[in-house]
Structure formats: C-alpha cells, structure tokens
Structure 1
Amino acid sequence: MQNKIPHSLPYRPEIDGLRAIAVLPVILFHAGFKLFSGGFVGVDIFFVLSGYLITSIILKDLAAEQFSVSQFYVRRARRILPALTVVLLVSFPLAVWLMLPDELKRFGQSVMAVATFSSNLFFWLKTDYFAPAAEEQPLLHTWSLAVEEQYYVLFPLLLILAWRRGTGRMAGIVGGLAIGSFVLASVVQQQHPQAAFYLLPTRAWELLAGSLAAIVPRLGGNPAFGPRRSELGAGLGFALILWALFMFDGHAPVPPAQMLIPVLGTALVIHCTHGRTLVGRLLASRPCVALGLISYSAYLWHQPVLAFGKLKYFNGVPSGLVMALVALSLLLGYLSWRFVELPVRTVQWRILKARAPVLGMAAGTLVTALLVGVGLHATSGFAGLHRWKGIQGPLQANAERGSGEKFCLAHPAGSPLGPVNCIVGDRRAPVDGVLWGDSMAAALLPGLDEELSRQHRAFVAVLSDGCIPIEGLTRTVKKEFGCEAQRQRVVVEQILRQPALKNIVWIGNFGLLTSGQPHDFALDGRPATPADVRERLLATVDKLHAAGKTLILVGNTPRFNVNAADYAMRMYARYGADVTLQAQHVTRADEETGFGSLAQLLREASSRSRVVDGLDIFCNGQDCSSHDAHGQLLYTDMSHLSHLGARKLARSVATRLDPPPSAVLAQRGI
C-alpha cells in the first residue's frame, strides 16, 4: 500500500494551545497550588504532543524521501540543548550558593544524568517524585526530557522499517507496541510504581499514542471527522484533560488505567480539533498560543526557580512569594524563548545548518556539563570549602543519618525475624529481647545499643525502613520498601514462639496512621484507617501480653516543619551563627492534634504494656525543641532522632525493661 503523506506540515495553533494547557498546571502543581492536584498530568500531555509532532515530521520527510537520521538528531539538539544549557549555567552558581555539601553533591550527580540523558534513571533510584523532598531538586523535571530522548534514539529507526510496509501495517506495529507498553506499565506499577513512573518502557505508550494520532488519520485518506463529530470529539477530549488536571491525586503515581484519561483526551483533541471547533478557537486564542510558544523554556525554568526559592527560604516560602516565583518562571521562559530559542531556530539557521558544527557544539556542551557534575561529585559538593569547616564537627559527630541500618550491616544476626536484623547491645550475652520497628527504630538503635551494653544484655533488632510495624500492614504505592503483610506477621509469630525473647521494644511512625493524613498503607488489603489501625495494634498488644511478654510501646517523638540539621547548617552558612543554637520549636498541643488518636491509643494500651510517650521525653511543658538544653541537636531531620536524641529516648526505654533472668545474672556474677 502506498503511503500518502503531505510534503508540508501546516502550523496548527491549537497545538501550541495544548502546550499551554500542559505547562501551566505543571508549574502550579509544583508551586503547591492544591487546586491543580493533577497538574503533573501536564507532562503526559507533553508526551502525547511530542509523539504526534515528531512522528508527523518524520513521516513528512519519509514521504518526500528527505529523511536523514543525522539531520533528525541535529534538529533535536537545536531544539533541546540551547535553552537547557542556559538553565544549567544559571543553576550552577545558585546551587553552590544555596545548597549544603551533600545536596550539592547530589546536584552534581543530577547534572551528570542530564548530560547523559539518563535523568529518569537517576531520579528513579534517588527520588520519589511526589515526596516533599523532591521539591528541592532543581533538575528533577529533566526526567521527562530523558524519557523523550531515549524514545527518539529508537523510534526513527522503527518508523523507517515500518514505513516500508505501508501505513496500515505501520499503524498496527505502533499500536501493538503501545498496547505492549501499556500492559507492561500496568504490571510494573503493581509492584514498582516508581519504576513505572520514570522509565521509558512503561512510559512509551503515551508517546506512541501521540504517534498513532499522527498515523491513523492517514488511513483511508480521510484526515478528520465531520464538523459535528469533530466538535463532540474535541469537547470530550478537552473534558477528559480537565478532569485529570483537577481531580487526580497528587500524592502518588497514577495507575496507567487512570492515565488513559488525559492521554486519550489529548489524542482526541489533536485529532478532532481545528479552527472551527469551540475547543480549537479556545486553544488557538492569543493567550494560549503565546504561553504555548514559550512552554518548553518555561518548563525548563520553573523547577529550578521553585527549588532554589525553597532552598533560599528554607523556613518556609512566604505565601505571597510563591506566585512571584511562578511569574518569574514564565518571565524567564519568555526571555529564554525570545533570546535563545528563536535565534537558534531562525537567525542563526544558516550557520547551524551544517550537521558537524551542531553535533560538535552539542557534544561539547554535554561533555562540559558532565565534567562539572563529576567535579561536584568528586569533591562531595565542595565540602572542604572554608564556609563548612566549622560545622562539620558538631553535625557529623551527632547527627549522622541511617546509623541503624549501617549498624545492622556491621552486626548481622542471622535471625529469621525480619528483613534487616542484627544483634544490639552486648553481643556476648544471651538475646532476651527484640527491637521491632521502622526507620524510627533504626534511629533509636545506637542509643539502645549503648544502654543494653551497659546492662550486659543483648536484643535482636528487626528493622524495615519505611514500613510501620503492624501485623498485616503493606504499602500500596511505595512497594519497593519491601513492606509485606506476611513479613510483619512472621515477626510476631517468631516472638511468640521463643520464650527467651522476654522484652519487646515496639516503635514506629504510628502517628501517621492515626492522624488521618494521606498515606499509602493498607491493612489486609484495605486502606489503613485510624480505627482499623487501633484495633490491630491493640490486638497485637493483647497477644503479646497474654504470652507473658513485656512490651514497651514507644509513641511518636515531635515532628518539625523543617529539617533540623539542615536548618542549623543553612543558618551557619548564611549568618555564621553557632550551629548548635539554631533550634526549631513546635507546641505539644499541635503535635497531639497532628497525631490524631495516638494519645488515646497509647492510654488504652498502657494497661497491658509499658508506654513511652515521645512527647513526654522531648517536650518541656508545651514547648518541644529540636535541641536539648545545651543547644545540641536531637534530630537529624524533621522526625528522626540524632545519636544524642537516641541516647535520651533509649535511657527512658531501658528503665522499663524487665531485668535479665536470674540464671543469666548469676552466670555474669551480678
């Protein structure tokens, strides 16, 4: 079958309008506007648009027998790299100014990822897109550019091969790949939602949907519906897009089945919209087209602007400034489009038409960025600079994060009790207890190790970072934490089967579940509600109590709005103030309100367990401080204890333990 593709690609202003509908919600979503809870869908709209436009261009060139793979990559380099280079150049000095050494090192790693078009792989391994910490990653948004560029490495070659088989078979091949990618995304999302979000194989179906939007209208020579069907199709597609933008939940990756809504909506708008339809007139309006023209540059600028704004105002960006940052993103987007994108595309086209110079400049740009990233990584974010020398001691000696996991790697137990376990305390003594918990337990572990060693006794620590220790609890989105219901039950079963395990220290982020805040935990396959959590937790308390176990149930310690250690370092860097004095404060009343029904739950459990309320330990009356009375850090971040904080909590826990059996005491000569 002969392929009939027009030799020219007419300008469609409604496509620029769609770009505007994509970019503005993304910016407002990242700025924190709750109205645009599904604003991240703008990236999916971009994927469909990109697939459509690139496929249309390639088909046009193939029909004219003018397609060149090298020229295709020259176009991509001219389109992507100039504005991206400017953004990287501006971001580097801002990062050096505003970032802590570990953040700057991570920034350097992200620059390396940008230079190798592997940002999606880097952020998949390092960052949860929907986590609050992601807001301070200046280059997080480049993951989508990496997905597109990886797609364009393979897709032109596929289209060349499919072209030879005719438009019908080409549509079948592309459609089959889209279905395969969608099925793969649906399967992967069940167990590895972050992988499904970031990686090309599970995102390709969206780009392929755009490619189909360019191919299918060519079948049979009828490029569009009639006026009435076009109006209905465009209206339906636009409604689907708006539904996703305003109704999707912005706390976790959306399953592919739901993501079909904006993807199909975008494809419908592309296929059905023209200047005579209502949606077409709206999208082709001057404001929409103007915003669409600068959409790429605006998208590039918005994440660094917002991220550096949050780093500058690390104690909270003033509400009035948020809109100013959004406006600045759009202004920089316009300036970048006007003085970077346009000259490269138009004025300098004659100079840049040759392939070798363009590819050479592109390679030079990427290699330079790669070397800058390597330098930041190799120097650990310029950690040796004089501005940081006075701060290393107070923080490193007291606030190292992740010490519990490192401890367990150094002292493995070989016990079947859990995913990460180790011996805590005097490793020559018989094990007579268990420390069971999540990252809160990992933070407590160094302090408990000291207390148990002092008492010449040993516990086995069972840690599962990110997994609140409750029987039957699982995570529905962040499943890579390994939070499995059966694994939680095994811990309790093993404790009950071993009489020697007399003392149980049970600690976790229970307040998250009792507060009613958004989370991704399920209990026996259903959303974990505060009432269900209360019932399950008390049932476990009863079970352990009936078995004669001594249960020390530890409630949440105070949480702070800002990372306490980072706050102290930033204050030191900015004002040269004593790092040990930069404390954060919250009120006990606010913490009790934030933890919901946790206080009542602890009271109910106190008759069958020995309760340690973290608020009692770390609050002085109504004031809860991130530092002790001597100005030393008690926290490593917003909620996890430092070594000093762990010692303070561990002393309180140790006073509630039953003593070792008399036979053990006699053996030790006590």
Structure 2
Amino acid sequence: MNLIRRWLEILNTMCNGRFSAEGNAFRRDINGLRALAVTAVVLFHFNIGGLHGGFVGVDVFFVISGFLMSGIIARGLQQGNFSIFAFYWSRAKRIIPALIVVAAILLVLGWFFLAPNEYKLLAKHARQSLYFLSNISYLRESGYFDSASHSKWLLHTWSLSVEWQFYLLLPILLTAVWKFFPGKKAMIFVHLIALACSFSTCLWLTNTSQQQAFYLLQSRAWEMLLGGLCFLLVSELKLSLIARRALESGGLFLIVASIFSLESSDAWPGFLALLPTIGAVMVLAAKREDSLWSNNRITKWLGTRSYSLYLWHWPLVAGLFFFYQQDNTLWITGAILLALLMSELSYRMVEQPVRRGLQQSSLPRAVASLAGLVILSVSAAQFVVNKDGLSDRMPAEIIQMIEKAQIGNNPRGGECLAKGVPCVYGGPDIKAIIIGDSHASALVTVAQGVLSTPEQGIYFEAAPGCLPVPGLNIREHFSNNHDDPCIHMKEQLAKTLETEMSQVPLIIINRTSMYPLGYNGIDQTLKRKPQAYASTPVDEPSSDSLKEFGQLYIEGACAMAKKRPVYLMRPIPEMKVEVPDAVGKEMLLGSPRDFTLSREEYKARNDFVWSIQDQAHEQCGVHILDPLPYLCDEKVCYGSKSGEPLYLDDNHLNALGGRLLAPMFSKAFSSMPYMQVHVRAAEANQPTPSISPPKA
C-alpha cells in the first residue's frame, strides 16, 4: 500500500507541478543523444560497421525534437510570454540557412556534372526541401531504402520536412488547449490522445502501406509527441542516482541494440520503432549530464555539429554512387572525412554567424533577409525545373545520346501496360500471344516487327511487376486489390486462355528472377525481398520459398502448354547502373566507356530461374527463348555498345537494344506451326550495335 501511495504521489506531482525553468540550458545528455543518433545515421548510410539499423537515429532525433519543442511551448505558455511567431522564427533561423547553402552548392555542382533529367530532379527536390514538403515528393517517387534513393541528393531532407510540419501544428494546438484549459494536466491529456492516434495510424499504415508510414507526419508525429510527453511528465521528477543510472543504461541499451539488430527490410516504423524511441525517452528522463559517454570532447563536437553533419553526409553518400565508388574503401574514408570537414565549416561559417547576424538585426529586416534568400533559392530551383534541366549547358552529342537512349519500344505502354488491359499490336490475324510484365511491354513491338504482313498481329496482356502464374501473389508494393492492374490482367488472362485463341502460341516474358529473389538494383548492400509468394511474404529467399515458387511456376507453365505451344524467355541481363545516365556521365567527364555485366554475374543472378525453366521444358515440352546470344559475347553482356546505350534504365531494353532481339523472335516464329515470318526490311536495314554471339 505504501508503494502504491508513493507512485500516486509521484503521478500527482508530475501532473500538477510547474515546468522546469532550466529548459534553454545546454544539456550534455541531449547533446550526447544527438551525437549518437547522427553517428548511427552516417555510418548506416556509408555502410560502415554492420550498423544495418542505423536509420533509427532519425527516430531518436524525432524524440529529442518533441522533448525540446514541447518544453519551449509549455514554459512560454506558463510564463505568459509565448509567441507562435517567435517560435516559428527561432526554428527558421536554426534550420533554413544551412539547408539553403547545401541546396545551392548542389545546384552549382549539378550544373557541371548532372544530365538534364538528373539536374531537373535535383532542382525539384531542392524546391520541395525548402518548402518542407520533400517527404511528400519522395513518397510519390519510391522507397527510402531502394537503389534509386542514391540518385536523390536531398533525400535525407524528408525528416526535416516532417519535423517542420510538426513545428507548424504543435504550437497552434497547445496554445488553443491552454486558452481553454490552462494547466499541465490538459497538455498531458492532449499529448496522450494525439500520440495514441498517431501511433495507431503508424501501425495501420506499416501493415497496409509501409511507404506512407515511413514518410507521413501522421504516422511519425507520435515519436515527437512521445518526447513531448517525456518533458511534461518527468521535467520535475526527482530520481535517485541509482535509478537515473539504470534508466540511462537501459535506454542506451535499447538504442544501441536497435542499431545493431534491426534491418532496412524490417517493417518500419511500427512496433519496432518503440525500441529506439523508448530508449531515447529513458535517457532523457535520466538526465545524467556527468556520464562519460556524453561528457567528452568528441561527443560534444558531434552533438553540436549534428545538424550540419546530417545535412552534408548524404550528398557525399550519393556522390560515391554517382562515381561508382560506393565499395571503394579509400573513397568512403575520404567522403566521411569530407563530411566532418563540411559540417565544421557549415557550423562555423553558416549556422553560428547567420544566427548571430539575424539576432542582431531588427526583426523586420532579419525576417525579410531570410525570406528573400528562401524566395531566391526556390526561384532558382524552379527555373531549372521549368527549363527541363537546362539541357543547353550540355554538349550536343550527350543530349542526342540521352534522347536516343530514351526512345522505348512501346509507345502504347500507358494505354496497355499501366492498366493491365488486353491490346492488339498489328493486324487482326493474331499469330502469337505475349504476356508478362514491363519487360514484355518493352519487347512486344519488336516481336510484331518480324511478322510477315501488316494483317498479322500480336495479342498482348501485361501489367507492371506482374507474374502471370496462378497461385503466386505479388507483394504489397504492387497493392493487391481489385484496382491493381496485375490482378485485373490475371483475371482477364484466365478467360482469354480458356475461351479465345485456344491454340495460338504463347510467349511469356518477365523480369522473372525478381519474383523469387527480389530486386537486383544498383545498391547490393541492402536485402532484397522476394516480390512473389504463395501464402505468406518472406523477407529473403529461403529453400522453402524457392521450392514453392519453382513448383507453382512449372505447374503454371505446363498447364498453359496443354493446349498451345508455350515459350518461356530467359531473363534479360540486369545492369548495375542506369545505363543512359552512366554513359552520359562518362562522356561529360571525358572518359567514355561501355557498361557491361559479366556472364558470371548474370549466371549467379539467374541460375535458379534457368533451372526451373529447364525443368518445365523437360516435363511438358515448353520452348525456351534465350536473348543472351544477341546481347552478350562469351564474357560479358552489354548495357551499351560503342557509346550507344541499349537500355532505358538498368533492366529495360530501349529501341536500339530491343532490335537486337528481332532475330530471336524471327527464329521462334519460324518454328511455330502455320507461320511464315521474316525480319522486315525496314527493321533489318536499321543499324544496330554489333555483338558477336558466343561460339558453340
């Protein structure tokens, strides 16, 4: 009973006490948390030390921000001198100047090194970062952990946007509550309700749309509200030294354990995000400023420069990938040292002097100056966007190369592929059916081009990221619902194969290895989740998942082959770079070269798919189409040849690359019953890169 009474007294003290007056004082424990968080993020992004969960540093930052912001607002309201404008102004002085400098320097460097489409994308991201809406932009584009992320030089500003959106709303909410219900209890109640709503949203979105859960304020606000609740409940709490040490040790353990044990493939955020955030709360509640880990020169330096270090490290990570040096230890070491140097320069030459200058100027003049800089920066970025990346600044041969490389094979992709609806390419005399995903879409017109007469045609059904195998589902990334073009296509395909063109030959073209093994993009350090599953999604391939996939794939192919000839196409080689951009970059740097993939790398990636395709051939006589003799020589497969890209990106053939496969389709059609085909003269006479097939 005495223990219960004691806890009730503590709770009453926490809810009725006054807010601490020490809020603006420098706290070494908070600075230490900043140092720990930024170190985890930097080492994670540079792929150092096996810190696969280093991304949780951002979640620690969110807790710290909530703790400090709720403290500033609560103390100001209690003292009767809180100003929403002054709150916004203090945040703007802290965040915007260094962000402008980073964006401006990247735009200047991009002028010299980036292709027009890359430069336009950088300018768009710079604009959205200065609007503090970059989290919305990145949500619409792709995932934080995917390979394309390294081409986004300002990707890390998503967290600044989330924080700024929180800063805009929190003082308005708390001021309104204080006006009608002044006191600590009401503020605690509001924090609890808002935290519960945000955390519930986070859990729901993590299970239904993980990208939204990652990027949106409504699913991230709970982390900052948790920090605010920590301030409100423990700012006056008196604990023994033993209790404080235990809290601090436990909190640090949770954070460090998260950094070392979590993976980018884990469902994030969600319940797992409780580990680092509760850990941060425990360290804040302990309020131990004399700990060795937080009270040393290195930690103090990292903590005070944490914002600048966070701003500068990611562009340098992206730079390593830009120059294909992401695995070069010497380059990585140099990039980390440069990040430390740039953070010091930014802290001393931007953060501190600008803040002092704005503080010393009259408020109207200071606000006008900072607003003018923002407007100028946004206008410059918008100008680059409006001018499509200022292509005139590039040598004409590079622009011509990029424009030529971006010519795809299928001008009807938006009509047919994107919606998963059937289309006919050519005339009404259907000679073959082609099904699959975007790889099928990239080659259907090549197949049509070898038909003998305009009256002959190809019946086409495909959808993005879709494997037309009964019993296999596609991951949430492609949104399994009846609005999904993949589901629509598979339902339509089942009817087509049963009721129409029952004996017409069927060609299946897919990025097949992606489905059992996951993506094979530029960044090889991240786990790749298999994109197809029978019953339950898996985070990485296993012997059971591969066996299950293989059985269903073979059964599906053989079921289709009962009534018609079926042709399975081997996977197209997946390059390690976005080929047109890579070729243009090398031309810009004055060192043009071709980009290739070794046969050994292709084999390692696609051995499993080849084996199950061979089994299907042996079991039920399906035919195999092999593109390698037309895209590869004995040692390598070509992404570009003589400076001419053969790909639209890293895995889709462009018009030039697709034409290399015309003989493959011609040979296949010639073997089909009742078909006489040839490569049209118009196709045959067009020049294509010369790639010698391997010797028999």
TM-score, with length taken from structure 2? 0.86
Secondary structure (helix, strand or coil) at the match of 1:436 reads strand
The answer on 1:512 being equivalent to 2:520 is: no
Question: Percent identical across equivalent pairs?
Answer: 25
Compute the displacement of 1:485 (Å): 8.1
Q: How far apart, CA to CA, are the structure 2 residues paired with 1:206 and 1:341? A: 26
- Residue pair 1:95, 1:104 contacting (<8 A) in 2 also: yes
What's the counterpart of residue 534 of structure 2? 524
Q: Does 1:613 align with 2:656?
A: no
Change (3 A) 1:17 1:107: same
> Is residue 533 of structure 1 aligned with residue 533 of structure 2?
no
Give the partner amino acid of 1:519: K
Deviation at 1:409, TM superposition (A): 3.2
Number of the residue aligned with 2:239:
225
- Aligned partner of 1:494 in structure 2 is 495
- Match for residue 234 of structure 1? 248
CA distance in 1, matches of 2:51, 2:200: 28
Mapped partners of 1:476, 1:335: distance in 2: 45
Measure the CA separation in 2 of the matches of 1:40 and 1:460: 47
Kindly tell me: are residues 241 and 452 of structure 1, through their superposed partners in 2, closer, same or farther at Cα, counting changes over 3 Å? Answer: farther
The residue aligned with 1:339 is 349
| 3-state secondary structure, aligned to 2:640 | coil
Q: 1:186 to 1:451 in 2, by over 3 A?
A: farther
* 1:348 partnered with 2:363: no
Question: Which residue of the partner structure matches residue 50 of structure 1?
Answer: 65
Residue identity in the other structure for 1:407: R
Distance 1:235 1:150 in 2: 32
Alpha-carbon contact 2:309-2:340 (below 8 Å) kept: yes
SS in 2 for 1:421: coil
- Give the secondary structure class of the aligned counterpart of 2:450: helix
> Structure 2: how far apart are the matches of 1:391 and 1:446?
27
> CA offsets, 1:66-106, max 9 Å, x none?
11111111101110112112212221111111211100011
CA contact (8 A) 1:425 1:448 kept: no
Equivalence for 1:180? 197
Letter paired with 1:348 = G
Cα RMSD for the two superposed structures: 2.8
- Give the Cα–Cα distance (whole angstroms) in 2 for the partners of residues 36 and 183 of structure 1: 28
The equivalences for 1:105-144 within 5 A come to: 105-144=120-159
1:458-473 alignment runs, 5 A limit: 458-473=457-472
What letter matches 2:423 in structure 1?
I
Structure 1 residues 134 and 653: alpha-carbon distance in aligned structure 2, compared to 1, 3 A threshold: same
**CA-CA distance at 1:522 after TM superposition:** 4.2
1:392 maps to 2:399:
yes
Contact residue 237 and residue 265 of structure 1 kept, 8 A:
yes
Cα distance change of structure 1 residues 424 and 314 upon mapping to structure 2, 3 Å threshold: farther
Match of 1:35, SS state, is coil
Where 1:143 maps in the other structure, the secondary structure is helix
AA at the equivalent of 1:365: L
Q: Is 1:73 the equivalent of 2:88? A: yes
Of 266, 286, 294, which aligns to 1:272?
286
Shift of residue 569, structure 1, vs aligned partner:
0.9
Alpha-carbon distance in 2 for matches of 1:653, 1:644: 15
What is aligned with 2:646? 634
Measure, in 2, the Cα distance between the counterparts of 1:225 and 1:653.
Answer: 77
Match runs of 1:184-263 below 5 Å: 184-218=201-235, 222-251=236-265, 254-263=268-277
Deviation readout 1:86-140 (Å, 9 max, x if unpaired): 2122211111112111000111111210221111111111232111221121111
Q: Is the contact made by 1:237 and 1:268 (CA closer than 8 Å) also made in structure 2? A: yes
CA displacement at 1:650 relative to structure 2: 4.4
For residue 337 of structure 2, what is the aligned residue in structure 1?
327
CA–CA distance in structure 2, aligned partners of residues 210 and 102 of structure 1: 41
Mapped contact 1:472–1:485 kept (Cα < 8 A): no
For each residue in 1:164-206, what CA deviation from the matched residue of structure 2 results, as whole angstroms up to 9, or x when unmatched?
Answer: 5221221121111111111112222223211211111111111
- Distance (Å, rounded) in 2 between the aligned partners of 1:351 and 1:491: 70
Distance in 1 between residues matched to 2:52 and 2:489, nearest whole Å: 33
After TM superposition, the structure 1 = structure 2 runs for residues 558-577 of structure 1, keeping only pairs within 5 Å, are 558-575=573-590
Structure 2: how far apart are the matches of 1:67 and 1:17?
28
Aligned residue for 2:395, secondary structure, equals helix
Select between 7-16 and 94-103 the one with higher mean Cα deviation: 7-16
TM-score (norm. length: structure 1): 0.89
Contact 2:247–2:283 (8 Å) recurs in 1: yes
2:328 to 299, 315, 318: 318
Distance 1:493 1:433 in 2: 16
Question: Residue 239 of structure 1 contacts residue 265 of structure 1 at CA under 8 Å; is this kept in 2?
Answer: yes
User: Would you say the 8 A contact 2:569–2:627 is kept in 1?
Assistant: yes
Distance 1:422 1:254, change over 3 A: same
Distance 1:253 1:99, change over 3 A: farther
Asked if 1:305 is matched to 2:316, the reply is: yes
Q: Which residue does the alignment assign to 1:603?
A: 614
Residue 614 of structure 1, CA deviation = 3.1
Amino acid at match of 1:258: L
- Does the CA-based 8 Å contact 1:509-1:556 persist in structure 2? yes
Query: Using the alignment, how far apart are the partners of 1:171 and 1:29 within structure 2?
Result: 35
Residues 24-103 of structure 1: pairs in structure 2 closer than 5 A: 24-33=39-48, 35-103=50-118
Residues 325-345 of structure 1: CA distance to partner in whole angstroms, max 9, x if unpaired?
Answer: 012111111121122222234
Is contact 1:470–1:536 with CA below 8 Å preserved after alignment? yes
Q: Does 1:14 align with 2:29?
A: yes
Aligned to 2:446: 447
* Aligned ranges 1:576-591 → 2 under 5 Å: 582-591=593-602
| Residue type of the alignment partner of 2:315 | P
Deviations 1:579-628 (A, max 9, x none): xxx32223212311222422222211223211112333322223322235
Task: Classify 1:253/1:114 alpha carbon distance in 2 versus 1 (closer, same or farther; 3 Å).
Answer: farther
Opposite residue 111 of structure 1, the aligned amino acid is A
Unmatched runs of 5 consecutive residues or more in structure 1: 666-670
Preserved contact between residue 150 and residue 317 of structure 2 (Cα < 8 Å): yes
What is the one-letter code of the residue matched to 2:347?
W
Could you say if the C-alpha distance between residues 22 and 664 of structure 1 is closer, same or farther in structure 2, counting changes exceeding 3 Å?
A: same
Equivalent residue pairs, number: 641
